[in-house]
């Protein structure tokens, strides 16, 4: 792998088998293989979040956090259920912002695929609000909404997007995301302060 090639973690925002959001991330992994190392991360295997009194974070969440920490950025692909993200994705983010803060100042790109014609606009807005929460504190790429509607029809038998306009849009947004990651690295002055503030909040939690 080239020294200049960035490493991204791609969170599959659902546990649904044969999910089109997983297919979208798999397509990105293959399509951008010459530009970046994209590794898919499933969000299964976590218990239902129930704030533990002993502040214990499950091993699975700690392992996920370690991979996110080591990545240059994160891509999250979410479906839309009742104008919101799936409960399993909310659960994962809750664990990944409880005592650990891998998303703090981490560049994040949000995308999504949906069976319907409207895509995942409201779910993406919901996810942006979550990722911007004080305990998460991600750096979310602005003006980057990527909506894949009618997702059952948009992938061919080989898992490739068969809509050339959607592919071109994704290529442009991914190029912007890589530049956003570069810019974010220049904002290092606040990163250490932000993480110290998050750690202090953990120490005073009831």
Is 60 domain-assigned? Answer: yes
Is 107 domain-assigned? Answer: yes
SS3 12: strand
Q: Which two tokens stand for residue 180?
A: 């956003």
Q: What is the pLDDT along the chain (206 residues), one digit of tens a residue?
A: 445 799 999 999 999 999 999 999 999 999 999 999 999 999 999 999 998 888 899 999 999 999 999 999 999 999 999 999 999 999 999 999 999 999 999 999 999 999 887 789 999 999 999 999 999 999 999 988 999 988 989 999 999 999 999 999 999 999 999 999 999 998 866 665 666 667 666 654 43
Task: Give the domain range for residue 89.
Answer: 6-203
Indicate the DSSP class of residue 54.
Answer: T
DSSP states of 92-120: HHHHTTSS--TTTT-EEEEEEE-SSTTTT
Is 1 domain-assigned? Answer: no
* 51-92 pLDDT tens trace: 888 889 999 999 999 999 999 999 999 999 999 999 999 999
Is 172 domain-assigned? Answer: yes
Mean pLDDT of the chain, nearest integer = 91
CB 83 within 8 A of CB 123: yes
Is 194 domain-assigned? Answer: yes
CATH number reported for the structural domain that contains residue 145 in this entry: 3.40.50.360
Angle between helices 121-131 and 87-95 (to 10 degrees): 10
- Tell me how many degrees the CA angle 200-203-205 measures, rounded to the nearest 5: 110
Q: How many domains does the chain have?
A: 1
- The pTM (predicted TM-score) of the whole model is 0.90
Neighbouring C-beta atoms of residue 102, cutoff 10 Å: 21
CA 203/CA 194 separation, integer angstroms:
15
Longest distance between any two alpha carbons in the chain, whole Å: 53
């Amino acid at each position: 792998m080239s020294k200049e090639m960035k490493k991204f973690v791609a969170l599959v925002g659902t546990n649904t088998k044969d999910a089109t959001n997983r297919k979208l991330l798999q397509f990105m992994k293959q399509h951008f293989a010459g530009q970046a190392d994209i590794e898919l991360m499933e969000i299964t295997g976590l218990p239902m979040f129930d704030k533990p009194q002993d502040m214990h974070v499950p091993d699975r969440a700690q392992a996920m956090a370690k991979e996110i920490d080591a990545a240059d950025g994160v891509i999250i692909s979410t479906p839309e259920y009742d104008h919101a993200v799936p409960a399993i994705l909310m659960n994962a983010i809750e664990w990944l912002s409880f005592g650990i803060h891998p998303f703090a100042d981490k560049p994040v790109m949000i995308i999504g695929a949906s069976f319907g014609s409207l895509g995942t606009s409201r779910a993406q807005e919901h996810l942006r609000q979550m990722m911007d929460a004080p305990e998460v504190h991600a750096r979310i790429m602005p003006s980057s909404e990527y909506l894949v509607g009618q997702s059952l029809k948009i992938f061919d038998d080989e898992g490739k997007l068969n809509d050339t306009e959607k592919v071109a849009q994704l290529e442009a947004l991914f190029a912007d995301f890589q530049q956003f990651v570069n810019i974010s690295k220049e904002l290092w002055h606040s990163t250490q302060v932000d993480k110290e503030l998050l750690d202090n909040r953990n120490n005073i939690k009831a």
